């Protein structure tokens, strides 16, 4: 009974597709996890452990079934600074191991705690305020980043006369150069075959994921070429003589001194990593919602990501978040349930424990081809068609987010896009406020407003009245039936206006205030005194606020 309940929770209707899709994703996770570990400056197994644990736990708890999580580049580029800061702090044990990796584990745990609190306090809902141009810029920029990241597979370390890799004197990173022309040609052909299989196979059958079929087929071709003495780069070549093989991750409490200096280092990094991880996860969630016409639960996803990262930190992983590329592979392979992400995690662990030799033989060309198809599928090609038809402000946001995503990181890009969108919106609304005036049979003047009174329009609102204060009659009615007070600036400018009329010996009445505007003014009684008039015709005024 319990097993049946669990299976229903995971994926009862799409079991085969989720299983095959999960295996495909697990294969694609291998080079990504290794590459991101190198970016962060840690051992590849730490990236592989993170990919396994984050994928498994996040999928089981996820608020967005079908989404794939793992070690990501957006987090890795931040982690490298954390690892370096930890290494500079000192050594952590008698074996001479540097502190950086322990700093990383501790920070990932704290990162997870922050993400859980974000979900518990229901802050994930703010992902809904992300404008559509920001979403388009996000997917376009991320598609470009994914594509550019594949270029490193076409390069190899430059060697000195002794056959040792040359290092950059500033960053201590390996200096890379392009692979030999013949190797590049072979890789290009294998990539083209991979992409062709993924494009045409679904037109013939959808019984198996096209990405999985492409990887297996191209792997056999590469093995045949190897028998002819023609070598093409494989996953093993990424390991620099190392191996994927390792044991099951073990529980470990990070060995860091709990003092103010250490907290000064890890706390800022934890907040930055938590924010970037949630931004990428929630943006991916929104993207999959749009593709599948379903709706995920953002707050639950925050808790799922946080839980996964806490476990990852205690079991020797580098943490992670949702991955757009792998999620798109999963969706394109008809993976829709939690089971796909769980299979991906279990599959990756199986590769580490039992099948490392086999996985290391997969040609990088096959995985690069899969990712190139992900790039093509992720990029919002429709943005080229609509960019000249949408408002110029939205076009600017779309392009800006795309460019910033490529040259900085996702978090900065999304924040920049939201800020620019907010400023553009505020500028438009600030100009869209006006008033129609009339005088009734009793000689009172009526101002019928239209628009929003807030920080952007406060000056324009005041300009509607300022030249008339001396000449207006003793009774002034301001009708808010088609207008709204939005914020503190709106309250203040209204207070300033009523004070000016009061000094001129005139009385201002406010009509047709919406319920929320009345509450806003009620809460601001200590700083503003206004007369909310009772309209004898519509009876909409609130006597309690009179």
Judge whether 47 and 84 are in contact, CB under 8 Å. Answer: no
pLDDT per position as a tens digit, 59-85:
999 999 999 999 987 788 788 888 888
**pTM value?**
0.75
pLDDT higher than threshold 60 for residue 477 = yes
DSSP 67-115: --EE--HHHHHHHHHHHHHHHHH-B-STT--BTHHHHHHHHHHHHHHHH
CA 383 and chain centroid, separation: 19
pLDDT higher than threshold 50 for residue 110 = yes
Domains of the chain: 17-91+100-243+263-378 (no CATH), 391-429 (no CATH), 432-545 (3.30.750.24)
* CB-based contacts of 332, cutoff 8 Å, min separation 6: 209, 210, 211, 373, 374, 377
Confidence of residue 279 (pLDDT cuts 50, 70, 90): confident
Confidence of residue 182 (pLDDT cuts 50, 70, 90): very high
Please state, rounded to an integer, the average pLDDT across all residues of the chain.
85
pLDDT higher than threshold 70 for residue 314 = yes
Q: Quick one: pLDDT at residue 313?
A: 95
- Look at 126 and 345; give whichever has higher pLDDT: 345
Judge whether 313 and 319 are in contact, CB under 8 Å. Answer: yes
* CB-based contacts of 416, cutoff 8 Å, min separation 6: 400, 401, 404
Query: Which among 430, 408, 404, 431 has a CA at the least distance from the CA of 418?
Result: 404
pLDDT per position as a tens digit, 415-428:
899 899 988 888 88
* CB-based contacts of 397, cutoff 8 Å, min separation 6: 131, 133, 134, 137, 417, 420, 421, 424
Confidence of residue 539 (pLDDT cuts 50, 70, 90): very low
CA 541 and chain centroid, separation: 45
Q: Quick one: pLDDT at residue 2?
A: 57
Query: Which among 196, 192, 223 has a CA at the least distance from the CA of 210?
Result: 196
Distance CA 185, CA 132 (A): 40
Confidence of residue 488 (pLDDT cuts 50, 70, 90): confident
pLDDT per position as a tens digit, 353-381:
998 888 888 899 998 888 888 888 878 88
Q: Return the residue matching tokens 């990070």.
A: 254
Q: Quick one: pLDDT at residue 97?
A: 57
Q: Quick one: pLDDT at residue 280?
A: 86
Q: What integer is the mean pLDDT of 492-503?
A: 87
Torsion sign, CA atoms 418, 423, 427, 432: positive
Distance CA 473, CA 451 (A): 24
pLDDT per position as a tens digit, 144-170:
887 888 888 888 888 777 777 787 776
Residue 466 has phi, psi (to 5 degrees) of -55, -35
DSSP 441-482: TTS-EEEEEEEEESTTTHHHHHHTTTTTTTTS-SEEEEEEEE
pLDDT higher than threshold 90 for residue 304 = yes
Judge whether 330 and 25 are in contact, CB under 8 Å. Answer: yes
Q: CA angle, corner 446, sides to 516 and 438, nearest 5?
A: 140
Q: What integer is the mean pLDDT of 161-190?
A: 82
Distance CA 169, CA 337 (A): 48
Neighbour count for residue 385 (Cβ, 10 Å): 9
Judge whether 83 and 102 are in contact, CB under 8 Å. Answer: no
Q: Beta partners for 270?
A: none
Q: Quick one: pLDDT at residue 91?
A: 66
Confidence of residue 220 (pLDDT cuts 50, 70, 90): very high
Q: Quick one: pLDDT at residue 158?
A: 82
Query: Which among 117, 73, 116, 103 has a CA at the least distance from the CA of 313?
Result: 103
Angle between helices 100-120 and 298-314 (to 10 degrees): 160
pLDDT per position as a tens digit, 384-433:
888 888 888 899 999 999 999 888 777 788 889 989 998 888 888 888 89
Distance CA 216, CA 393 (A): 46
3-state class percentages of the chain: helix first, strand second, coil last, to nearest 5: 60, 10, 30
- Look at 447 and 96; give whichever has higher pLDDT: 447
Look up residue 433 and give its DSSP letter: -
Q: Quick one: pLDDT at residue 510?
A: 85
């Amino acid at each position: 009974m319990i097993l049946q309940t669990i299976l229903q929770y995971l994926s009862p209707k799409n079991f085969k597709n989720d299983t095959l899709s999960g295996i495909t994703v697990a294969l694609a996770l291998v080079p990504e996890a290794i590459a991101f570990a190198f970016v962060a400056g840690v051992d590849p197994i730490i990236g592989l452990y993170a990919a396994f644990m984050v994928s498994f736990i996040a999928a089981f708890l996820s608020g967005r079934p079908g989404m794939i999580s793992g070690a990501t580049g957006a987090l890795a580029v931040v982690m490298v600074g954390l690892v370096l800061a930890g290494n500079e702090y000192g050594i952590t044990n008698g074996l001479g191991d540097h502190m950086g990796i322990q700093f990383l584990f501790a920070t990932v745990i704290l990162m997870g705690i922050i993400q859980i609190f974000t979900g518990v306090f229901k802050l994930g809902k703010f992902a809904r305020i992300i404008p559509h141009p920001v979403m388009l810029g996000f997917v376009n920029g991320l598609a470009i980043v994914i594509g550019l990241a594949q270029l490193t597979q076409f390069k190899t370390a430059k060697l000195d006369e002794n056959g040792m890799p040359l290092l950059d004197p500033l960053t201590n990173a390996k200096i890379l150069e392009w692979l030999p022309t013949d190797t590049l040609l072979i890789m290009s052909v294998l990539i083209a075959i991979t992409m062709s299989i993924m494009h045409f196979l679904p037109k013939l059958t959808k019984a198996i994921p096209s990405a999985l079929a492409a990887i297996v087929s191209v792997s056999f071709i590469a093995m045949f070429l190897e028998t002819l003495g023609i070598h093409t780069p494989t996953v093993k070549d990424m390991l620099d003589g190392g191996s994927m093989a390792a044991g099951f991750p073990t529980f470990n409490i990070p060995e860091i001194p709990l003092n103010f200096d250490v907290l000064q280092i890890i706390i800022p990094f934890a907040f930055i990593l938590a924010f970037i991880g949630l931004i990428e996860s929630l943006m991916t969630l929104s993207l999959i919602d749009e593709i599948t016409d379903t709706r995920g639960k953002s707050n639950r996803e925050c808790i799922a990501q946080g839980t996964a990262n806490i476990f990852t930190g205690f079991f020797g992983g580098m943490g992670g978040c949702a991955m757009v590329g792998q999620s798109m592979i999963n969706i394109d392979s008809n993976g829709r349930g939690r089971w796909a992400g769980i299979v991906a995690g279990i599959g990756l662990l199986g590769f580490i424990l039992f099948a490392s030799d086999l996985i290391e033989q997969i040609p990088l060309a096959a995985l690069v081809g899969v990712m190139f198809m992900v790039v093509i599928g992720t990029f919002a090609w429709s943005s080229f068609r609509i960019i000249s038809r949408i408002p110029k402000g939205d076009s600017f946001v779309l392009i800006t987010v795309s460019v910033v995503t490529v040259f900085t990181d996702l978090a900065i890009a999304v924040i920049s896009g939201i800020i620019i969108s907010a400023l553009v919106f505020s500028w438009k609304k600030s100009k869209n406020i006006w008033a129609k005036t009339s005088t009734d049979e009793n000689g009172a003047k009526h101002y019928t407003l239209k628009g929003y009174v807030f920080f952007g329009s406060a000056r324009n609102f005041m300009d509607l009245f300022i030249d008339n204060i001396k000449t207006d009659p003793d009774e002034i009615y301001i009708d808010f039936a088609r207008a709204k007070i939005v914020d503190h600036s709106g309250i203040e400018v209204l207070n300033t206006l009523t004070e000016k009329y009061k000094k001129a010996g005139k009385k201002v009445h406010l009509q047709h205030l919406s319920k929320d505007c009345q509450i806003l003014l009620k809460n601001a009684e200590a700083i503003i005194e206004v007369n909310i008039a009772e309209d004898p015709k519509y009876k909409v005024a609130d006597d309690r606020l009179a």
